[in-house]
Structure 1
Amino acid sequence: MEKEGDDSDFVVERGKGKKYRPVVAQDNAVLEMSSLDRSNSASSTDSSLSMKIVMGVQTNQQMTSTKESLPTHGVANSSQSESKLELFGFDSLVNILGLKSMTGEQSAPASSPRDSEDDSVNLEKQPKAPSMKLGTIMGVFLPCFQNIMGTIYFIRFSWIVGMAGIGEALVIVALCGSCTFLTSVSLSAIATNGAMKGGGPYYLIGRALGPEVGVSIGLCFFLGNAVSGSLYVLGAVETFLNALPSAGLFKETITNVNGAAAADPVSSPSLHDLQIYGIIVTISLSFVVFGGVKIINRVAPAFLIPVIYSLCSIYLGILLAGKDRPAKGITGLSFKTFQKNWSSAYQHTNEAGIPDPNGKRDWSFNELVGLFFPAVTGIMAGSNRSSSLKDTQRSIPMGTLAATLVTSSIYLISVILFGSLAIREKLFSDRLLTATVAWPLPSLIYVGIILSTLGAALQSLTGAPRLLAAIANDDILPVLKYFKVADGSEPHSATIFTAFICMGCVVIGNLDLISPTTTMFYLLCYAGVNLSGFLLDLLDAPSWRPRWKFHHWSLSLLGACLCILIMFLISWSFTVLSLALASLIYYYVNLKGKAGDWGDGFKSAYFQLALRSLRSLGANQVHPKNWYPIPLIFCRPWGKLPENVPCHPKLADFANCMKKKGRGMSIFASILDGDYHECAEDAKIACKQLSTYIEYKRCEAVAEMIVAPSMSAGFRAIVQTMGLGNLKPNIVVIRYPEIWRRENLTEIPATFVGIINDCIVANKAVVIVKGLDEWPNEYQRQYGSIDLYWIVRDGGLMLLLSQLLLTKDSFESCKIQVFCIAEEDADAGVLKADVKKFLYDLRMQADVIVISMKSWDSRADGETKQEESVEAFTAAQRRIASCLKQMKEKSKMDGMPLMADGKPVIVYEQQVEKFLYTTLKLNSTILHYSRMAAVVLVSLPPPPLNHPTYFYMEYMDLLVENVPRLLIVRGYRRDVVTLFT
């Protein structure tokens, strides 16, 4: 039998993929997960290599018989009972563990009879009892209801009705309520499109718009929650001081209302009282939060019940007001009062909100929108509790939308009731009108308001640290590492940080100033949720299948626009500041973060945009004005690089030189010799290493790895299939094989010539780099000239490459010289004028030099260079003659025609001499004019048909002899530059 942790069931060998022992009948419903990726778990143990689930319990006798009947791995073709699913033995069978792992749910590892010698099953270990899950009412509706019906409703809403009037107050409620309703629709669609983890809106936005947007909006939402905590704390303290004025340490009484003496002096809480009591309450709530979620859940009902009681008392008091309990300023429900309070009465107020002509606050419709909006927030309370819900797919949409509609209806009805209940002066002076009119015990309303606002504050101080910890645990921003917590632990450091932010806002001591700040952060978050819904709905990816069907991208777009509109209504400067803060966080995450691929909607948008752009390019050739070089760069064409070096270091530098200001695409390709089935895993690893190297070199490119029996076969496959439509590579970049003779690599000439011929057949341009080791990087500035030896028509590719080189920092100080090779009977002056006119029409600045081939013999100052070229020429002649002699002897011995590289060839010795002599003259000319050039570009001669590849390599060696840095260029059958605008 195998021992526990034995890897023989599941073995991954380098280059040979995975070996798997199939499931047999004696395993009694053992289901194996054979598709585990070992590379993804850094701390995996031996037992994780072969996870097995026992779906049944056997008796000891059955287990013993199972042991005896199990075959050993060492016996080949041993007799064993075949499983009914033997055909699928190499695949992962469907089981509950695999299905749960798709949602990220953790399951306890189970044991298998094959894991160890002791096959006994522990029947005493009982499964852990599931924690109590909440339904729609308790888990979503009531928490949202409690957060929405909070501070603003109890101590500011009647004042807002008095200031805005009934008409504009209805508009304010409808505007803000519509915003939250549309956001709830988007939230419902996103939340029901899969399992949710911790983080609430941060998790939803991050998985929809990407980690950068998710973190930037998530941090703003965290700040909104932290600041709203101070809003609720100040609301509770203000209610307490109004209910018990004697508790104030600093007395403040207002005797004038709107410039006239008040009938009764109005007591107002002092700023210092709000600060002192606010800090004490914040610290006390923080200690409760430190106690953990269990304590918070126990005390939550104590904060929830007073909200419901207070609302009932307020509505009973409104219905009975003026009938059995007359009071100053309260008329009861009266149509005349309704008419008087219909229009707005915006005024200046003092810090206590009392109308004062000399007051510093000048209220308007926009200001009231900013003050009221936090009253309708709280729709995220249900999504924040997703882990505690029985059915998130049903509870979140139903509970959130129900809470939004119910609370919006309460606010709309309350506008009419408050506007019909009291005269405007009473609405202005009595901020706790809700407590004044409550029945039967108004004093209890103060307790209810205090407890409800403290409950909302507790929710904020509980949710904000967990949101910050969720962002920190994603390990995107290194600066947030101090707030990371282990699973199941309390975020104590995040709680302390949140408490300090809350206390800092409490010190401001003015609820009317804090409320617009909270509004901005919430609106930014809601806009992110709506944009997420809009993007996902518009893209309609295959994975977009929300259970909540009542949604449309137009609703999400309208919700996002409404959020932005409200932000600008409140304060355009504050809106710009909020967006700038979110943008700075986004930029910081993009710069310093370690964002991974979360499958966000932007990736889907990029995919669809790429498909649409590709289709719009069509199948026709791109116009020369729109032509971009798309180089296909071979990283390891001739070997001789260490195994851990995926690409020649200078190839990435050269690839960057072929793009103007980084625009364009490059493809780095490498060929791995071998069988695809055996080398598939090695190819994946090598491709990943190549991608990492390209990123390290800051080169915008794509890495590809091909497994082929030989380099020639691999190149032929790549050059035929790489790319899509007009995004196929159009230039093949390869290093010149300078080492082939020194290393005695006799197979290189045939491969080299084959690559060139394949490129010609596939209509690809070719750029062969000689002297790649000395190619400058972006910091090595070059001086001198870029010399072009323009011999054949190449569609202007050589001219375009020279211009692209000039756009780089390393070559920007160079000038371009164009050398035209004139035949002996050509008019050099006319040729030079024509070339100059052509370059002028192409908007290219270059010096033109016309060289006649006959002038090479008459140069007086080129004796040394001539001797160098002649020496190389003589050596090439000897090698070619020796090779030709061997070919003839072998042909005569075998009685076969002249053969080279396994193919019949035709050799005319006079033609060979002519080729050598032409190459000699060109090399000598290059050495005479361009020995000190920064880089030389020369046309690539095509391999002669039915010519020995060895001879062609001799011609090329003679051409590049003693030239330190050379680009050998061959264009293709089209123009890449144009004269026309």
Structure 2
Amino acid sequence: MGPDFRDEETFFSVFAIFFPAATGILAGANISGDLADPQSAIPKGTLLAIIITGVVYIAVAISNGSCIVRDATGDDNDTMLGSLENCTDAACTLGYDFSICKKERISGEITCFLNLMNCFCEVMSLVSGFGPLITAGIFSATLSSALASLVSAPKVFQALCRDNIYPGLHVFAKGYGKNNEPLRAYVLTFIIGLAFILIAELNIIAPIISNFFLASYALINFSVFHASLANSPGWRPSFKYYNKWVSLSGAVLCCVVMFVINWWAALFTNVIVLALYIYVSYKKPDVNWGSSTQALMYNQALSHCLHLTGVEDHIKNFREPNSSNISPCLYLSFRPQCLMMSGYPDSRPALVYLVHAFTKNVGLMICGHVRTGYRRPNHKEMMNEQVRYQRWLLKTQIKAFYTPVFAEDLRQGARFLLQTTGLGRLKPNTLVVGFKNNWRDGNMKEVETYINTLHDAFDLQYGLVVLRLKEGLDISHIQGQEKTPAMKDLLVSVNIKDFDSDSSKPSSKTTSCQSSPLIFKDTKSRPAHLSPADQRLLTAGQQFKKKQHKGTIDVWWLFDDGGLTLLIPYLLTNKKKWRDCKIRVFIGGKINRIDHDRRAMAALLSKFRIDFSDITVLGDINIKPKKHNKEVFQNMIEPYRLKEDDMEQEDADRLKAQEPWRITDNELELYRAKSNRQIRLNELLQEHSSTANLIVITMPLARKGTVSSALYMAWLDTLSKDLPPILLVRGNHQSVLTFYS
């Protein structure tokens, strides 16, 4: 009474042929756009269709099995005249011996057609009251199933093409008529269907179709499970008995059945699906589906942030180098979490690209922007700007966050950012700013605000990094010329060929491109009317975006600030664009101990496992600078001196209170040695590092409240003037280079 599979057929090979009959489950979902109430109609209609067709299929199988035997010749002379002892078939109970049918099947000469095994197309006609009615029903069912697929599949394909995910498919996104019918997709579907029909063998076609249907059902089930796992508030299934583990079981079962039916076809299908997924992941199309992947990423990010918050600081992150437990194993475990005062990110590209170079895949990078002015921007305007420049960062492949704030002045806004930016342990610990090149030409109140912002960073235990380029950093005045025709090419795109102008493509990319001002890549196509200074400024703005030529990163480690001055060059040389640059270390020392200091420093760097090409001990660092350079420094600070000897003491005190940035005579005399030191350091920098790709030097400190802003700016200016790109670095005296034993 059990199954009797023959000719190497198995349950799963028969299942593969039958399965396409049960693939109309998604017919309603595929045309959901045409339904008045899809939320109610799809589950009710689908479940009702499954119940009705399931009952019909089972009833047909039972009725056929009840009316027709497995083997029969159709000849009345097969009646058994002898004993029934050797007869084992079901027909034996009816007094018939059809054993000849089995013998014929073995020999290959089949004459038994009136049975379940060999009558492929006439079984229903045999048991029906009117045979032609069955033929008409088969034709109608085939036509309805084909039409359902021909209508639903092109609509799904059209939606896929609209997103412009895969190249060349956008031509099928075009719709026609009032209902936006995908005629081009209809034609493509017809051609594919015709190609399979021409195979003319149902037993060959059905397993192929079953394989792809099972793959699609596996993906749908897994998508449902994934959406449930992400726990998104927007995922609210209305089905009462829904369970995510049933969905996962269905996905696994579909995959298993695929391989059981035909392993090589299943493998081929999975390779195609995986290739399509990898392409989408790599291409990152400019679409927003609100997918469960995004929801799960959010869940995981939130969970990890909360987990980090509950983890105590590990001793290797904060133990001092002079710990009693010391070994040559290096842990550069400090991560530079940088808050960069960039303004609009595209207005200071050199600053953005350099900071990204040593924070990429290592630490946090936040582009802080303090907006000031009399008119407070509304919330919508601020949000639009945030989206716009975050998109710019994504387009330029810079892993950073853009955070704008509105404040009365730079210092207040910087305080907001310093105190509130970050989430848990993902909080900045280093402030990065550009050097104020025009400090002598502007309002000294702005200089006072700038210096006070640096002091605020130190007060809040931030490390500090100041970048200076002799050409400058800010190109916003050039971008302000965007309205002139000659400048339009400057701000349109990094690479215009990335954006196809075909009008049939979706407009999302065009919109995002236009809303994100990207600095152009090709320096040869710059507008001819730019001044030479602006030409040099634009070139300098792109220098850290390119691969650095063979050269050096000169580290002037003059004070122990925790090691940040040494950590940044180390992180840079680990990046592909800076790999050809070697680290040279310069330290101060005494003339009679140069060899000893060099060996000690080499041993220290070896314990830290930091590769270096040379160590230079400067024994002449404390000698007096040249007279000419001292005169240049005096001329620089002359306009900012208080000159209290030329006025009454009361007037001098009043002027100092009104203009606290002014330099008093006592202050100048008290810090004369430190001023001379900055002049001398610049002379040494000019001598030793004038050809370096980048200079990283320990930043001099000024005691808050005792050193005026003008004098401190003069120190920084004198130290860093007329040099290659230079980073002035000062850590918060927390060790970032540790080693154990």
Q: Shared fold (TM-score greater than 0.5)?
A: yes
Partner-residue secondary structure (3-state), 2:691: coil
Structure 1: distance between partners of 2:380 and 2:149:
50
Structure 2: distance between partners of 1:593 and 1:909:
58
Spell out the pairing of 1:145-156 with structure 2 (5 A cutoff). none
Spell out the pairing of 1:730-749 with structure 2 (5 A cutoff). 730-741=429-440, 743-749=441-447
Residues 491 and 854 from structure 1, CA distance in 2 versus in 1: closer, same or farther, beyond 3 angstroms?
Answer: closer
**1:435 aligns to what?**
124
**1:635 aligns to what?**
342
**2:605 aligns to what?**
839
**1:456 aligns to what?**
145
Structure 1: distance between partners of 2:362 and 2:438:
33
**2:397 aligns to what?**
698
Q: Number of paired residues?
A: 608
Deviations 1:666-705 (A, max 9, x none): 2112111135744544433433442233233221211111
Of residues 762, 767, 786, the one that matches 2:460 is 762
Residues 979 and 437 from structure 1, CA distance in 2 versus in 1: closer, same or farther, beyond 3 angstroms?
Answer: farther
Whether the 8 Å CA contact 1:646–1:686 is kept in 2: the answer is no
Q: Is 2:184 aligned against 1:485?
A: no
Residues 886 and 844 from structure 1, CA distance in 2 versus in 1: closer, same or farther, beyond 3 angstroms?
Answer: same
- Counterpart residue identity of residue 872, structure 1: N
Q: Is 2:654 aligned against 1:894?
A: no
Whether the 8 Å CA contact 1:832–1:848 is kept in 2: the answer is no
Deviations 1:553-605 (A, max 9, x none): 11111111112111222223222322222233334445557442222222211
Identity %: 26
Partner-residue secondary structure (3-state), 2:588: strand
Structure 2: distance between partners of 1:566 and 1:901:
84
Structure 1: distance between partners of 2:655 and 2:671:
15
**1:916 aligns to what?**
675
Partner-residue secondary structure (3-state), 2:21: helix
Q: Which moved more, 1:885-894 or 1:754-763?
A: 885-894
Partner-residue secondary structure (3-state), 2:727: strand
Whether the 8 Å CA contact 1:923–1:960 is kept in 2: the answer is yes
Partner-residue secondary structure (3-state), 2:219: helix
Structure 2: distance between partners of 1:895 and 1:653:
46
Spell out the pairing of 1:564-583 with structure 2 (5 A cutoff). 564-583=255-274
Spell out the pairing of 1:417-432 with structure 2 (5 A cutoff). 418-419=64-65, 421-423=68-70, 426-432=115-121
Q: Is 2:577 aligned against 1:779?
A: no
Partner-residue secondary structure (3-state), 1:564: helix
Partner-residue secondary structure (3-state), 2:390: helix
Shift of 1:449: 1.2
Of residues 659, 680, 684, the one that matches 1:925 is 684
**1:472 aligns to what?**
161
Shift of 1:502: 1.0
- Counterpart residue identity of residue 586, structure 2: F
Structure 1: distance between partners of 2:704 and 2:180:
76
Shift of 1:890: 6.5
Spell out the pairing of 1:190-205 with structure 2 (5 A cutoff). none
- Counterpart residue identity of residue 395, structure 1: A
Whether the 8 Å CA contact 1:671–1:714 is kept in 2: the answer is yes
Residues 367 and 911 from structure 1, CA distance in 2 versus in 1: closer, same or farther, beyond 3 angstroms?
Answer: farther
Residues 910 and 886 from structure 1, CA distance in 2 versus in 1: closer, same or farther, beyond 3 angstroms?
Answer: closer
**2:449 aligns to what?**
751
Shift of 1:891: 6.8
Spell out the pairing of 1:654-693 with structure 2 (5 A cutoff). 654-659=354-359, 662-674=361-373, 677-693=376-392
Structure 1: distance between partners of 2:159 and 2:620:
78
Deviations 1:412-443 (A, max 9, x none): 56555555542256332111253243321123
Of residues 240, 257, 264, the one that matches 1:549 is 240
Whether the 8 Å CA contact 2:342–2:368 is kept in 1: the answer is yes
Shift of 1:738: 1.8
Structure 2: distance between partners of 1:855 and 1:872:
15
Of residues 213, 217, 221, the one that matches 1:526 is 217
Spell out the pairing of 1:76-95 with structure 2 (5 A cutoff). none
Shift of 1:974: 2.6
Of residues 588, 597, 605, the one that matches 1:821 is 588
Of residues 345, 355, 360, the one that matches 2:5 is 345
Shift of 1:718: 0.5
Spell out the pairing of 1:853-864 with structure 2 (5 A cutoff). 853-854=619-620, 857=623
Residues 781 and 854 from structure 1, CA distance in 2 versus in 1: closer, same or farther, beyond 3 angstroms?
Answer: closer
Shift of 1:720: 0.7
Q: Which moved more, 1:964-973 or 1:846-855?
A: 846-855
Whether the 8 Å CA contact 2:339–2:366 is kept in 1: the answer is yes
Of residues 703, 709, 716, the one that matches 1:944 is 703
**1:234 aligns to what?**
none
Residues 901 and 601 from structure 1, CA distance in 2 versus in 1: closer, same or farther, beyond 3 angstroms?
Answer: farther
Structure 2: distance between partners of 1:940 and 1:784:
23
Shift of 1:757: 1.0
Deviations 1:55-86 (A, max 9, x none): xxxxxxxxxxxxxxxxxxxxxxxxxxxxxxxx
**2:427 aligns to what?**
728
Structure 1: distance between partners of 2:221 and 2:648:
79
Partner-residue secondary structure (3-state), 1:766: strand
Q: Is 2:632 aligned against 1:875?
A: yes
Residues 900 and 687 from structure 1, CA distance in 2 versus in 1: closer, same or farther, beyond 3 angstroms?
Answer: farther
Structure 2: distance between partners of 1:523 and 1:482:
28
Whether the 8 Å CA contact 2:258–2:266 is kept in 1: the answer is yes
Of residues 917, 929, 934, the one that matches 2:693 is 934
Structure 2: distance between partners of 1:378 and 1:778:
54
Shift of 1:797: 1.9
Structure 2: distance between partners of 1:391 and 1:368:
38
Residues 891 and 565 from structure 1, CA distance in 2 versus in 1: closer, same or farther, beyond 3 angstroms?
Answer: farther
Structure 1: distance between partners of 2:425 and 2:117:
70
Residues 838 and 370 from structure 1, CA distance in 2 versus in 1: closer, same or farther, beyond 3 angstroms?
Answer: farther
Residues 492 and 391 from structure 1, CA distance in 2 versus in 1: closer, same or farther, beyond 3 angstroms?
Answer: closer
Deviations 1:808-845 (A, max 9, x none): 34432221111121257x84333323322221122211
Partner-residue secondary structure (3-state), 1:453: helix
Flag structure 1 segments of 5+ consecutive residues without an equivalent: 1-338, 349-362, 637-643, 859-865
**2:515 aligns to what?**
none
Of residues 379, 388, 394, the one that matches 2:40 is 394
Partner-residue secondary structure (3-state), 2:737: coil
Residues 646 and 854 from structure 1, CA distance in 2 versus in 1: closer, same or farther, beyond 3 angstroms?
Answer: closer
Structure 2: distance between partners of 1:705 and 1:651:
17
Shift of 1:455: 1.7
**2:253 aligns to what?**
562
Of residues 199, 208, 212, the one that matches 1:517 is 208
Q: Is 2:26 aligned against 1:380?
A: yes
Structure 2: distance between partners of 1:344 and 1:511:
21
Residues 902 and 435 from structure 1, CA distance in 2 versus in 1: closer, same or farther, beyond 3 angstroms?
Answer: same
Residues 633 and 495 from structure 1, CA distance in 2 versus in 1: closer, same or farther, beyond 3 angstroms?
Answer: same
Shift of 1:730: 2.1
Whether the 8 Å CA contact 2:556–2:587 is kept in 1: the answer is yes
Residues 745 and 576 from structure 1, CA distance in 2 versus in 1: closer, same or farther, beyond 3 angstroms?
Answer: farther
Partner-residue secondary structure (3-state), 2:617: strand
- Counterpart residue identity of residue 274, structure 2: S
Flag structure 2 segments of 5+ consecutive residues without an equivalent: 72-100, 102-114, 318-330, 474-536
Structure 1: distance between partners of 2:547 and 2:245:
54
Structure 2: distance between partners of 1:759 and 1:841:
31
Residues 901 and 658 from structure 1, CA distance in 2 versus in 1: closer, same or farther, beyond 3 angstroms?
Answer: farther
Partner-residue secondary structure (3-state), 1:428: coil
Whether the 8 Å CA contact 2:196–2:205 is kept in 1: the answer is yes
Shift of 1:779: 3.2
Residues 475 and 779 from structure 1, CA distance in 2 versus in 1: closer, same or farther, beyond 3 angstroms?
Answer: closer
Of residues 954, 961, 967, the one that matches 2:721 is 961
Structure 2: distance between partners of 1:602 and 1:440:
56
Structure 2: distance between partners of 1:369 and 1:887:
101
Structure 1: distance between partners of 2:5 and 2:468:
83
- Cα RMSD for the two superposed structures: 2.9
Q: Which moved more, 1:413-422 or 1:951-960?
A: 413-422
Q: Is 2:309 aligned against 1:597?
A: no
Partner-residue secondary structure (3-state), 2:255: helix
